[in-house]
Amino acid sequence: MPLTIEKLDTNIATLTGKATTYSLTHYYEQNGDLMRDPEMVFIVVDNRTDGNNYNALEIYPQMYQQDNLGLFEESIIIENNTVKSFIKTWQHSHCNFANHWLKNISQQGFLK
């Protein structure tokens, strides 16, 4: 399946700086509808002054959605462009899934 990457929101206040959210999604069509399989939204805080200083780059999964299972989980809650809270168990699960999924996406040639 193709991979769709979208920049969603910018200037989100976090404890470690301003963030941007990005969606990564695989879609397939079912009965004429696009189905997410899955979609993950990531919060990216980029405090780099040097493009190669990856220690100043933070990426957190914020949302997971799987249409065919009816799942929608926000592990980090954003209100009024500010991170307000998080759900620890979902955040842990989203991190585990994201690590596995991003390895698969890389192996499929999307992240080179």
| pLDDT tens by residue, the chain, 112 residues | 889 999 999 999 999 999 999 999 999 999 999 999 999 999 999 999 988 899 999 999 999 999 999 999 999 999 999 999 999 999 999 999 999 999 999 998 887 6
Give the chain's length: 112
Nearest to 22 by CA among 12, 30, 13, 14: 12
Antiparallel, parallel or unpaired: β 71-74 and 76-79? unpaired
83 contact partners, CB below 8 Å, separation of at least 6: 12, 13, 14, 15, 19, 43, 76, 77
How many other C-beta atoms can be found within 10 angstroms of the C-beta atom of residue 3?
A: 13
